Amino acid sequence: MKNDRMNTIEPLETAIFAGGCFWHMEDAFQKLDGVSHVYSGYTGGTMEDPTYLKVVSHVSDHIEAIEIHFNPNMITYDELLGNFWDNSNLSESVIFYTSNKQRELAEASRNARAKRINKPVPTRITSATTFYMAEEEHQNYYQKNGLAACLIKDWRLGK
């Protein structure tokens, strides 16, 4: 993570995105200046303490997501949204807002994206719920294991 210039005295904000495979999403955000931590985990469901096996086998109604801690004086929520659109599988994606301001920015960003590609964007925008950290083996996955088979389906091209 590019956090060597982070001022730990400044308050951090949180963003939560689901965009398909959390390993890919985690890697895409860890590289950004102003991002202090990115955690892989599960959110959006009702089961307490979901596990990877329960989520991927659909025993739990949670989805894979990332929780991003960022310094808003170094990177804006809008910049995070831009990175989200560039790196997520939009047919499986959800933006979980933590404030009304994030909701407004997410909706405006989704509308701008739809206008840009000239078709509706299926990404849901909803209030954040409990975020459960994934098991340790899923944290910093690419740094531990190198590139893995985590392909993002391009829903715009039907592939």
The residues assigned a catalytic role are 21
Closest CA to 11 of 68, 66, 69, 67: 69
DSSP the chain: ---TT--TTSPPEEEEEE-S-HHHHHHHHHTSTTEEEEEEEEESSSSSS--HHHHHTTSSS-EEEEEEEE-TTTS-HHHHHHHHHHHS-GGG-EEEESSHHHHHHHHHHHHHHHHHHTS----EEEE--PPEEPPGGGTTHHHHH-S-S-PPP-TTTT-
CA–CA distance, 145 with 150 (Å, rounded to integer): 12
Q: What would the two tokens of residue 67 be?
A: 């929780």
